[in-house]
Amino acid sequence: MATYKPVVVQAFPKLGERITQDTVYWRGYKTPVQIKEFGAVNKIDFSPVPPYNYAVTASSRIHIYGRYSQEPIKTFSRFKDAAYCATYRGDGNLLVAGSEEGSIRLFDVNGKAPLRQFDGHTKAVHVVGFLSDKYRIYSGGDDYSSNLWDIPSAAEIVSYSEHTDYVRCGCASKVNADVFVTGSYDHTVKLFDARTKSSVMTIEHGQPVESVLLFPSGGLLVSAGGRYVKVWDVLKGGQLLVSLKNHHKTVTCLCLNSSGQRLLSGSLDRHVKIYSTTSYKVVHSFSYATSILSLALS
């Protein structure tokens, strides 16, 4: 019988993970506080002024948390049904929110009862925010309309009925007080100028649009829907610059860091991806235990 000589499998050292400046920076973010809300969180928004409290919209409540608090420091609960999209004004003094019953409520962050109520939508309002002049509010609803409101008089200024499905996201320009954007489940993103009676630009995203974001310069627009994040050049008539497909499920939310050099996207695949806004390559990724519905950076 021939003798058996085992073959020695040569083992090589594993390649180490490539450590970049982004890896070091984003690994510095920890998750020291995990807060259980009453329902799915549909919006997180940081106050733009110190002490940078943040508003969490979930179920029929808006909770305000401090930087280090695990319990709400204030709660707004004057909603009959679900509340949506609580957003701070640029000076941090006012907070506006939509609702399932179709009304929009304006709150003083130091008060309790609503200062104003805006009625005009016939179905749920999932999108609401301030124009950069601080005296007007834009909104979008499940009645397919995108509206503009005057804060002092609580009156509707104009209503645009151009979308053909639910309007579920929007944002306002920081450089032009008359410009705002809405995204819809009809697969389109529309750019409106309050001085005109119709939209000034329509962009076809190709999937139901879950989130939109304008760069601070106002020249670039980002849309998210399906598994795609797309970047558009507004100054070139809505030309597509790049299409990113780094998630495995629907992308639900977008945000920029304060310098505008990093773009973040959250998805139902439980991941947050961080992109360089120069190369649009993924520079870091976070993994979470459940799907991501909202995302915000102070």
Full pLDDT tens readout for the chain, 298 residues: 567 778 888 777 766 567 788 888 888 777 656 777 778 899 999 999 999 999 999 999 999 999 888 889 999 988 999 999 999 999 999 999 999 999 999 999 999 899 999 999 999 999 999 999 999 999 999 999 999 999 999 999 999 999 999 999 999 999 999 999 999 999 999 999 999 999 999 999 999 999 999 999 999 999 999 999 999 999 999 999 999 999 999 999 999 999 999 999 999 999 999 999 999 999 999 999 899 999 999 8
Q: Where do we find the tokens 């954007």? A: 181
Cis link prior to 51 (omega < 30° from 0)? yes
Q: What is the pLDDT of residue 102?
A: 96
Count CB neighbours of 218 within 10 A. 15
Q: What is the pLDDT of residue 234?
A: 96
Q: Are 223 and 189 in contact (CB under 8 A)?
A: yes
> How is domain 38-159 classified at the CATH fold level?
Methylamine Dehydrogenase; Chain H (2.130.10)
Q: Where do we find the tokens 């004004």? A: 89
First to last CA, the chain: 75
C-alpha dihedral sign at 165, 166, 169, 172: positive
In this prediction the pTM is 0.90
Q: How far apart are CA 187 and CA 206, in angstroms?
A: 5
Q: Residues near 20 by Cβ (< 8 Å), separated by ≥ 6?
A: 283
The β-bridge partners of 91 are: none
The β-bridge partners of 262 are: 276
Q: Residues near 4 by Cβ (< 8 Å), separated by ≥ 6?
A: none
Q: What strands lie across the sheet with 228-233, from one edge to the other? A: 211-214, 220-225, 228-233, 239-244
Q: Look at residue 201 and give its three-state secondary structure.
A: strand
Q: Residues near 240 by Cβ (< 8 Å), separated by ≥ 6?
A: 230, 231, 232, 233
C-alpha dihedral sign at 46, 170, 260, 176: negative
At 106, the amino acid letter reads L
Q: Where do we find the tokens 């304060």? A: 258
